[in-house]
Every structure is written in structure tokens, then in C-alpha cells.
Amino acid sequence: MALGRKNNAAGYILILPALIMLAVFVIYPMFMNIVMSFRNYSLLRVGDQNIGLQNYQDLISDSRVWAAVSRTFVWTIANVIGALLIGMGSALLLFAGFKGSGIIKSMILIPWVLPSVITGYIWSLMLQEDAGIITYILKSLGIVAHDFSWFRTGPLSMSAAIMANMWRAFPFFSLMIFAKLSSVPQDYIEASELEGVSPWQRFRYVLFPFIKPTVTICTYLCFIWSFNAYDILKVMTNGGPAELTTTMSIMVQREAFQFYEISRASAMSIIMFFIMLAVLLLAKVLLAAKRRLSNGR
Amino acid sequence: MPRIVLEHVTKCFDKFVAVDDLNLVIEDRDFITLLGPSGCGKTTTLRMIAGLETPTKGRITIGDTVVFDSEEGIDISPAKRDIGFLFQNYALWPHMTVYDNIAFGLENLKWPKKKIEERVKEMMAMLKIEQFEKRFPSELSGGQQQRVAIARTLAPKPRVLFMDEPLSNLDAKLRLEMRSELKRLHVDTDSTFVYVTHDQLEAMALATKICLMNKAVLQQYDPPLVVYNKPVNLFVADFVGNPTMNFINATGERKGFNDVFVHMLGKDLVFHSSETIDGDVSDLVIGIRPEFVKLGEGNFNGVVYTTLPSGMETTVKVKHGEDMVTSVVFGSVDFSHSLDMPFSIVSDNIIMFEKASGKRIAIGSLS
Ligand SMILES: Nc1ncnc2c1ncn2[C@@H]1O[C@H](COP(=O)(O)OP(=O)(O)OP(=O)(O)O)[C@@H](O)[C@H]1O
Ligand SMILES: [Mg+2]
């Protein structure tokens, strides 16, 4: 027993550096974030005091905040659906196999491991209005007008950023779903072959039930990651034009590091957290209800 | 009516030959078992007929349709071969109820709703699984899942039903029970069954014909009792029967067309066959089923080595010089070890094998 206790102490000592780092760079800032949100701390003023829920009240009655919330939802939902569909489609293609699918399997993760700031810059360059390759091709094919720009209107800017983010996010789905598909027992696939089911039915009744849990988890993760996503939007549109692509994370960042209103930014980030939590809880409740319903038949 | 014909069917995995030049005719309404030791190519053969594996060479015909021909490039998809396949681990759809599992294949075949319902009900009654209609496969025991799998496979009325060791996941008692039900089902459904197993008792009990394979090559294709009584070579004789046949080395000398002088177990005997004995009789292996060794009296003098009672019958091993002779005695007996035990060999179904080739050259009696 004495030996066991000694080993435990050694264990704690070994994880201590990591714990300290975690405490200093994650736990303490998180705690301070909560504290700050109840004060009126600003880098432009000297001194700050406790103002209770004032920040929250201001933010909730600010229509700009609500506009950002709704844009965040547009951004998130478009990204989740897009990445999910492309990810699932590419996973099925890889699973069916084609010439060269082996190489693609090993390369498909590249967009995912690329730093998203770089992804943002690459896409900005490709979509740039004069020299961007994509815009150039669209213009020379006559699909868009000569003075076309991706970044002049809100919806187009948003679509450009969504495209870039989807490109970055889908490989994760592909790989996770592909891995799950590969673990579907061969017997099931052969049984469906013998029963002569159509490709769609094979997906719907044989493959999908197997990958469903993976898809669910991937959807949750993609939701969280997109909801928080910041770098690609920052690099490509910086929230513009005229705040039309300003999502909550862009707004929080601007409030804190451009306007130096630290407390307002803290409160905003906490609101963001609760919105995200609410959505996830709602999804969980709905899924549970659906399961109860389908079991109770 | 479906008659399955395999002509020169060969399957290679790279350089490895899994099935070598197999010729087989499965008659309509046969119950065929593919029997053989592990890795001999049974599963591969079955999967080739079903269309789940593509043969390297050969031609397969089901009924009037050529379903595979390597030379003409014919390869009909499994769904169009009108067959059922029972998988070893059942492959029931886990997210569908028992009812839906059975109905799914019929829906794919575009049966009208009413007919599907009738057929599913009929199958559930036949396999006694009505009470599980609304359950999911995970809520059933292995044997119940097995029944659902059979119901699902039989529902579209396939002309041929393939089974790959379908009972190997079940416990011994259930296995016996399902065995007799399968045999009953074969009669009731009027279809052809092809059944893979490496259990020779199962093969004996079920089959109308056994297809015994070893190392990718067909050894013997005959009804069970023929395989048992007239094995074509040493491998077949050794593989079929429990306890295994006694193999006794002997030397021989020709006495006439039908008779051979045999020296075995230290005695000079005459082997008599009703047919002409061909082949080299100088070096022989004499095969004697344990039930032909009568204990208690006779001109051989052995010593009891072990006694293995199993209730209904008792296996007794008797040592005779260098040779060990196994005998089966009806009922329970318990001989004490090292007891002197005379025995005789009484049968006209003694088998003579050529030692060098292992081939059977005669069946007859010893005196
Ligand atoms: N996909 C494959 N690739 C390479 N070799 C294979 C493949 N499938 C089977 N084999 C080989 O072919 C031989 C026959 O295999 P098969 O599955 O038909 O054996 P089996 O008689 O069914 O044996 P068991 O009783 O163990 O199931 C084996 O030696 C196996 O290693
Ligand atoms: Mg097998």
C-alpha cells in the first residue's frame, strides 16, 4: 500500500507542469472572464468597479448583438450542413473505391491540418476580384459580370467564407465516416447484395444505421467548431462589409482588442457560451424524445 | 428446376489455389454438405456459387442459366441468381424488428404489401418466432436470431439455400435441435440446400450427399453412408467416422483375382473381395471400423489400454503388439487396464488401401 501511495505522488509530480500550464492559461483566464463580465473594466479608462448585470442588460437590448447572433447561426448551420454532406459524400466515394482512392485517402486530411489562417489567405487570394483564379475563371466563362466581387455584399462575402471553412472542415467528417464505414461487417454488405437492394437503400438501411452515431458526434463537434470559428472570417472579411459578416466571435474579438472594452467582451463571450449550450441541450432533448417515440411504437 | 453444375471451377488468391478444378453436380432438392478440414476451400466454393466471389476459371450453371463462365465473361450478380444465403453470424439488420428483417428482402423484390404480410406471417409461424415479431435482433438469443435469419433467407422462396456453418455459434444442445429442424425444413420447403460444415457428424446427419474436400481438391462426392462405408482414400476414411477407423499396416501377396494373402497383427490372413482387386498389394493399409472389432473372443490377443465410456456406447482401445486397435462396444462396460483381451475382426466391409497412394483398392472380409 505504501508503495502505491508513493507511486501516486510520483504521478502527481509528473502531471504538475501540465496542470500548472492549464491553470495559468486556461482555468485562470476562464475564471477572470466571468469576474470581468460583472465589472466595467476597459483598457481606455483607469479604475473599474462592480456593475452587476449591467453589461448583460446592455448587450441583450443591443440590436447589433442580435444581428450578430443570427449571422452566427446562418454561418454555423451552413457550415455544418455543407461539411456534413460533402464529408459523407466523399466518405462514401472513398468507401466504394475508385482508381487512386488510396492516394486521396492519405491526402484528404491536408485541408484539415492546414492552419485556418492560411486557408483563409489562400481562399482570399483565389477569390480576389481581379487576380483571383476562381473569380477569373468565372469571369472569363461569362458566369459573372466583369465588375463582380465576392466581398462587396454581405451574402456573397458570407458564402465565400463559408466555402473556405467548409473546405477546411469536411475532411474530418470524411475520415471519421470512412473509418466507420470500413468497420461495417462484410456480411451485412454481402447480405444486402444478395437481397438486391438499390444503392440508395443500401445507404439508407444498411450503411447509415452503422455510421449514425459517428455522424451525430461529428455534427456536434462541427457545430461547436463552426460556432466558435474566428480565424477564417477574420482573415477573409474581417466582419465586413458593414458588419454584414460579423459573427459573435468576430464581435467579441473586436470589442476586446479594437475597442478595448474588456468587460463587455467578456459578457458577450459568456452569452455566446450559453447560446451554444442551449442549442446542444435542445438537440440532446429532441434526439432523446425522438428515440423514445420510435421505441414506443 | 435448379440443378447446379460446376465445371472446372478454380479459385486462386494470387498464387495460392483455394479451390482446384472442382467438378460438381448438385441435383434439385438435394441437401449437400461441403465437408472438410479448416482452410480446404468450402467457404470459397459456396461463395463462388452464390456469386460473392469470382472464380478464376470455370463455369457455373444454376438451373438453365449460366451464372458464371470465365471464357464467355458471364458473371451474373448475386441478387439475380435466385438464391438465399445464411451467414454464419446471421447478418440481421440490427435496427429493424424481426418482422421488418423478414419483410425487407421481399420489399426489395417489389412484392405487393398484402403478399409480404402473408409470407412473413407464414415464415414466422414455420420457424415459431411469432412472439418476437416486434423485437430487435439484439433482444433475441442466438438460437432465436438463427431462426429469424433462416426465416429471412427462406422468405423470398429461393430455389437454393446456402448455409455457411450456420450452427457453429450455438451451444451443443441447440445445435442438435436446429439440426433436426433444418432437415425438416429441407423437406417442407422443397428447395436445394448447400451446407458448409467441418463437423463430420453434422454432415452425416443432414446430407443427402457429402462433398468432402481436402486442400482445395474434391476427395469424394457421395451419399453419407457410401462415404462412410466406401471411402475412396485414406483421407476420407480418416476424416469420417467417430471414433476414427483403425488403420493397420500390412504386407500382402496376391493369391488370385479376388484374394490377397495379408500379413497383419502378426498373423497370416486371407483378404477376400467379391470384386477383382487391382493395384499394388505388397504394401497395404487395412482399414477397419471400430464397430467391426469384436471384443471378448477371437484369435487376436490384445491388452486393454483405455476404456472410454460415453453412456450409450463405450470406446475401448486395445494394444496388440505395436498396434493399437479401437473398438466400440454397445452399452457401458468398464474393463480394468492391462486386462488380457482377445478380439476378432468380423465384417465384409474391411477396406484395403494401397499404402503408397492412399487409394482404396478393395472392400472385403478377412479370414
Ligand atoms: N480473400 C482471400 N485472400 C487470400 N486467401 C484467401 C481468401 N479467402 C480465403 N483464402 C484462403 O483460401 C483457403 C480456403 O479458404 P476457405 O475460407 O474456403 O476455407 P474453409 O474451408 O471455409 O475453412 P473453415 O472451415 O476454416 O471456414 C484458405 O487457405 C484461405 O487462407
Ligand atoms: Mg469457412
Residues 6 or more apart from A254 whose CB is under 8 A from it? A239, A246
When mean pLDDT is compared across A17-21, A257-261, B16-20, the lowest value belongs to A257-261
ipTM exceeding the 0.85 mark:
no
Check: CB of residue B212 under 8 Å from CB of residue B22: no
Fold of B4-238: Rossmann fold (3.40.50)
All residues of chain B having their beta carbon less than 8 Å from the beta carbon of residue A195 are 79, 104-105, 108
Residues 6 or more apart from A231 whose CB is under 8 A from it? A115, A116, A117, A120
When pLDDT is averaged across residues B284-294 and rounded to a whole number, the result is 92
Predicted pLDDT of residue A238:
83
Check: CB of residue A246 under 8 Å from CB of residue A68: yes
Q: pLDDT per residue over A193-216, tens digit each?
A: 887 788 888 888 888 988 999 999
Residues 6 or more apart from A277 whose CB is under 8 A from it? none
Q: Bigger pLDDT: A110 or A296? A: A110
Predicted pLDDT of residue A297:
46
Q: Which DSSP category does B290 fall into? A: G
Check: CB of residue B213 under 8 Å from CB of residue B40: yes
Residue A99, min C-alpha distance to chain B (Å): 20
Residues 6 or more apart from B35 whose CB is under 8 A from it? B42, B197, B198, B200, B203, B210, B211, B212, B213, B239, B240
Predicted pLDDT of residue B82:
84
Q: Is A58 on the interface with B (CB under 8 A)?
A: no
Predicted pLDDT of residue B282:
87
When pLDDT is averaged across residues A240-245 and rounded to a whole number, the result is 83
Instruction: Examine the pLDDT at B201 and tell me if it is beyond 80.
Output: yes
d(CA A66, CA B210): 77
User: What CATH number was assigned to the domain covering residues B243-366?
Assistant: 2.40.50.140
Instruction: Read off the amino acid at residue A138.
Output: L
Is the minimum distance from the CB of B15 to ligand 1 under 6 angstroms?
Answer: no
| Surrounding residues of ion ligand 2, Cβ less than 5 A | B 43
When pLDDT is averaged across residues A266-279 and rounded to a whole number, the result is 92
Cα of B76 to ligand 2 centre, how many Å? 23
Instruction: Read off the amino acid at residue B217.
Output: V
Q: Given the CA of residue B45, which atom of ligand 1 is nearest to it?
A: 18
d(CA A21, CA A136): 48
Yes or no, beta carbons of A209 and B95 under 8 Å apart: yes
Predicted pLDDT of residue A295:
65
Residue B216, min C-alpha distance to chain A (Å): 23
When pLDDT is averaged across residues A13-35 and rounded to a whole number, the result is 92
Residues 6 or more apart from B194 whose CB is under 8 A from it? B4, B26, B32, B33, B34, B46, B49, B160, B161, B162, B163
Q: Which DSSP category does B233 fall into? A: B
Q: How many CB pairs under 8 A join A and B?
A: 48
All residues of chain B having their beta carbon less than 8 Å from the beta carbon of residue A196 are 77-80, 108-109
| Dihedral angle over CA of B259, B261, B264, B268, nearest 10 | 120
Give the start-to-end residue ranges of the domains of chain A.
Answer: 45-295
Check: CB of residue B273 under 8 Å from CB of residue B348: no
The answer to whether the predicted template modeling score (pTM) of the entire model surpasses 0.90 is no
When pLDDT is averaged across residues B285-292 and rounded to a whole number, the result is 93
What the block records as the C-alpha cell of B129 is 418466432
Q: Which residue has the cell 441437401?
A: B31
Nearest CB among B79, B95, B109 relative to A193 is that of: B79
Distance of CA B175 to the CA centre of its chain: 15
Nearest CB among A187, A198, A206 relative to B87 is that of: A187
Which residue's CA is the closest to the ligand 1 atom numbered 7? B13
Yes or no, beta carbons of B91 and A209 under 8 Å apart: no
Angle between the A262-295 and A208-228 helix axes, to the nearest 10 degrees? 160
Yes or no, beta carbons of B52 and A193 under 8 Å apart: yes
Q: Is A185 on the interface with B (CB under 8 A)?
A: yes
d(CA B125, CA B106): 17
Is the minimum distance from the CB of B38 to ligand 1 under 6 angstroms?
Answer: yes
Q: Which secondary structure element, helix H or strand E, spans residue B220, and what is its range?
A: strand B217-222
| Interface with chain A: mutation pick from B108, B164, B169, highest number of A CBs within 10 Å | B108
CA distances from B301 to B206, B269, B339 (A): 39, 15, 11
| Rounded percentage of chain B residues whose pLDDT exceeds 90 | 39
Please measure the distance between the N-terminal and C-terminal CA atoms of chain B and give it in whole angstroms. 49
d(CA A273, CA A264): 14
Q: Is A155 on the interface with B (CB under 8 A)?
A: no
- Chain B residue closest in CA terms to A202: B108
Q: Coil, helix or strand for B314? A: strand
Average pLDDT, whole number, for chain B?
Answer: 89
Yes or no, beta carbons of A195 and B105 under 8 Å apart: yes
When pLDDT is averaged across residues B349-359 and rounded to a whole number, the result is 91
Q: What number of other Cβ atoms are within 10 A of residue B301's Cβ?
A: 14
Q: Coil, helix or strand for B8? A: strand
- Chain A residue closest in CA terms to B53: A190
Instruction: Examine the pLDDT at A184 and tell me if it is beyond 50.
Output: yes
Predicted pLDDT of residue B221:
94
Q: Which residue has the cell 454555423?
A: A76
Q: Which residue has the cell 446427419?
A: B205
Give the start-to-end residue ranges of the domains of chain B.
Answer: 4-238, 243-366
Strand segments, DSSP code E, in chain A are none
Predicted pLDDT of residue B185:
86
Residue A209, min C-alpha distance to chain B (Å): 7
| Rounded percentage of chain A residues whose pLDDT exceeds 70 | 97
Check: CB of residue B349 under 8 Å from CB of residue B292: yes
Instruction: Examine the pLDDT at B245 and tell me if it is beyond 90.
Output: yes
Q: pLDDT per residue over B67-104, tens digit each?
A: 999 888 889 988 888 888 888 888 888 888 999 999 98
Q: What number of other Cβ atoms are within 10 A of residue A92's Cβ?
A: 17
Average pLDDT, whole number, for chain A?
Answer: 88
Predicted pLDDT of residue A24:
93
d(CA B346, CA A202): 62
Yes or no, beta carbons of B105 and A205 under 8 Å apart: no
When pLDDT is averaged across residues B301-314 and rounded to a whole number, the result is 89
Q: Coil, helix or strand for B96? A: coil
Instruction: Examine the pLDDT at A85 and tell me if it is beyond 90.
Output: yes
Q: Coil, helix or strand for B89? A: coil
- Chain A residue closest in CA terms to B153: A195
Q: pLDDT per residue over B99-119, tens digit each?
A: 999 998 888 888 899 999 999
Q: Is B67 on the interface with A (CB under 8 A)?
A: no
Predicted pLDDT of residue A296:
53
When pLDDT is averaged across residues B320-326 and rounded to a whole number, the result is 89
Predicted pLDDT of residue A3:
54
Could you tell me which CATH class the domain A45-295 is placed in? mainly alpha
Instruction: Examine the pLDDT at A231 and tell me if it is beyond 60.
Output: yes
When pLDDT is averaged across residues B136-142 and rounded to a whole number, the result is 87
Residues 6 or more apart from B287 whose CB is under 8 A from it? B231, B234, B237, B245, B246, B247, B248, B350, B351, B352, B353
When pLDDT is averaged across residues A219-235 and rounded to a whole number, the result is 90
Distance of CA A278 to the CA centre of its chain: 16
Instruction: Examine the pLDDT at B230 and tell me if it is beyond 80.
Output: yes
Predicted pLDDT of residue A44:
82
Predicted pLDDT of residue B281:
85
Predicted pLDDT of residue A39:
85
Residue among B150, B169, B170 nearest B161 (CA): B150
Q: Which secondary structure element, helix H or strand E, spans residue A33, and what is its range?
A: helix A28-36
